[in-house]
Amino acid sequence: MSEVTKVNDFLWEIKKDESLGMRVPVRIIANESIVNQMQRDRTLKQAVNATMLPGIVKNMLVMSDGHEGYGSPIGGVSAFDAQNGIVSPGFVGYDINCGIRVIKTNLTENDVRPRLGMLMDLMFKNVPSGVGSTAKLGFTTSDLDKIALEGVDYVIGKGYGIREDAEFTEERGNIEGGNPDFVSDLAKKRGMQQLGTMGAGNHFAEVQKVEKILDERIAKSFGLQEGQVVVMLHSGSRGFGHQVCSDSYCQKSDYLRNNNISLPDPELTYAPIGTKVADEYLGGMRSAINFAFSNRQIMMHFIRKSFSEAFGKSPDSLGMDLLYDLSHNIAKLEEHDVNGKKTKVYVHRKGATRAFGPGSKDVTKHYRNVGQPVLIPGSMGTASYILAGREESMMETFGSSCHGAGRTMSRHQALREIPMSKTFSGMKSKKIEIRVRDKKLVSEEAEWAYKDVDQVVASIEGAKISTAVARLVPLGVAKG
């Protein structure tokens, strides 16, 4: 692999090497410590492999939370020409539209602390979590088909939330082009009873307080102030999206084999835009995107219900408005500047979030003057952040930012090296209430298995990709 060279304190580059088959350079947004860390595994090698695929434009990006993934690195952003490019499930991931939703309240820590234990019990009961968790809300195959087409509007119509919630969701909670005909019966069967469930792994519902406001003007636009309690929810498309991805890998592998197309890594399967197999993946992926938006919408309904039960007040009187919901595993048709020309491209964000800047017509009018909220969860027990997209991101990163802290250990390594007792005692020392389905697996998500989120965010802000608005700290966490 070519040498990693420094452009500035927060930008690094692997220059295009045509002898390796690279079509574009790799650009890494991180400080020196994080870049050195990335070179200990296959993160940057995977990024180089990604530059070899047809139709890739401008550069392959790795965000400061980047780490080794399946095929493409997590924390990777790539864009492919909409006419001559490709679409790849490996550049999106198995948990299609895994994403973050932040719900505001008008409560403070002093309000919440006396009832925190009860509140966490209620959230843990009302929002099922863990491997294979189900909610059994009575959804049918017909409902799933309508969700694939209509997204959150359909479940809001069923009583799960209010119409205003859609306005504060990326794509208004409904990306166009979902097609249930391109979703297998097995995917629908897996998803049927999983709407309204969190799942396992790094998914969580966390009660947090705004510890510090870092940009007063933008915070005011977002409706945030110091001491305020919010809820951060992290989940995706569950078995529905996982099966869509699995089915697509099989189809694309067959396509490549039948057309004698070789790959730098067999995990980088793809299909050229305009082919039947690409159209089928896009229709299925968009269906899973709408499933995930709807899943988080339903969970928010039950989080509101939990607060209402704990405080004896309506969600409206508790100020439980949606701040924003955004995806970090997605491929979208967007228009960006490529070599000085506006070009339609399929932007693949895998473990990366959209971060559109001020003035973008794709940002809700409520935030258009300050830029889109960018929601960054830390690891379990550490800080999280709310950022805002900047104009520079539109020019430098296809309007993208990081999505979290980013792992430094695999889950298996974390379980081997971090005792369960250390994880629980660390949470207890910070007075964080924790509810978890499987205590044996809790160290998978321990803070020591992740990068320092403060450094990750400082790198993004130093590169002028997003502006830090607020730092949040946890009070209670419920997870699988």
- What whole-number distance in Å separates Cα of residue 231 and Cα of residue 17? 46
Coil, helix or strand for 272? strand
Asked whether the beta carbons of 26 and 59 are under 8 A apart, the reply is: yes
- What whole-number distance in Å separates Cα of residue 244 and Cα of residue 101? 23
Taking Cα atoms as reference points, which of 345, 402, 332, 378 lies closest to residue 74?
A: 402
Strand 466-479 relative to strand 384-389, pairing: antiparallel
Asked whether the beta carbons of 87 and 278 are under 8 A apart, the reply is: yes
Asked whether the beta carbons of 22 and 28 are under 8 A apart, the reply is: no
Q: Looking at beta carbons, which pairs linking 213-219 to residues 24 or more positions away fall under 8 Å? A: 213/469, 213/470, 214/468, 214/469, 214/470, 214/471, 215/388, 215/467, 215/468, 215/469, 215/470, 217/370, 218/370, 218/371, 218/388, 218/467, 218/469, 219/469, 219/470
Asked whether the beta carbons of 426 and 446 are under 8 A apart, the reply is: yes
Which phi and psi (to 5°) does residue 103 adopt? Answer: -110, 130
- What whole-number distance in Å separates Cα of residue 360 and Cα of residue 372? 9
- What whole-number distance in Å separates Cα of residue 238 and Cα of residue 107? 31
Coil, helix or strand for 191? helix
Residue partners of 128: CB distance under 8 A and separation at least 6: 134, 135, 196, 197, 198
Active site residues: 403
- What whole-number distance in Å separates Cα of residue 426 and Cα of residue 423? 5
Alpha-carbon separation of residue 396 from 50, 74, 130, 390, 393 (angstroms):
18, 19, 38, 10, 5
Alpha-carbon separation of residue 119 from 122, 149, 430 (angstroms):
5, 34, 18
- What is the token pair recorded at 326? 């955004």
DSSP bridge pairs for 81: 345
- Neighbour tally for 21: CB within 10 Å: 12
Taking Cα atoms as reference points, which of 64, 355, 380, 386 lies closest to residue 211?
A: 386
**CA Rg value for the chain:** 21
Q: Vertex 152, ends 357 and 128: CA angle to 5°?
A: 105
